[in-house]
Structure 1
Amino acid sequence: MRPLLSSRPVLWFLFLFNPAVAAVAPFAVDGTQGVLTAVAMGLVSLGAGVGLLRG
């Protein structure tokens, strides 16, 4: 699983897809769950961005 997650196409997908989900989540899901989903997706996107910069 690690080689798949560290491949550049997967990192680019995570880096671009997760901010879109983070932007829509508070409007699609009500309350605290939407906010926490947005925060979690933002963190995943940041992690993927760091992985892209390192590689």
Structure 2
Amino acid sequence: MKALLSSRPVLWFLFLFNAVVAAAAPFVVDGAQGIATGVGMGVVSLGAASALMRRRNANAA
């Protein structure tokens, strides 16, 4: 399972999908639930982005 989640296409999907949901959630869902959803999805998106960057830097070295 770890190999699947750390593959490049899955990381790109997690990054892009969660970034879009994080941007749209506060407008679609009202109140604190929309804000919490946006923050949670944003954290997942940043985690995927950091994994992509770490992998890119490891390949360059």
Q: With structure 2 as the length reference, what TM-score do the two structures score?
A: 0.84
Cα distance in structure 1, aligned partners of 2:5 and 2:43: 15
Unaligned runs of 5+ in 1: none
Cα distance in structure 2, aligned partners of 1:42 and 1:14: 10
Q: Give the share of equivalent positions with the same residue, in percent.
A: 69
Alignment partner, residue 47 of structure 2: 47
Cα distance in structure 1, aligned partners of 2:14 and 2:43: 11
Alignment partner, residue 21 of structure 1: 21
Question: 1:30: how far off?
Answer: 1.0
Alignment partner, residue 11 of structure 2: 11
Instruction: Compute the RMSD of aligned alpha carbons.
Output: 0.7
CA deviation string 1:6-40 (max 9, x = no partner) = 00000001111111101110111111110000001
Aligned length: 55
Cα distance in structure 2, aligned partners of 1:36 and 1:5: 24
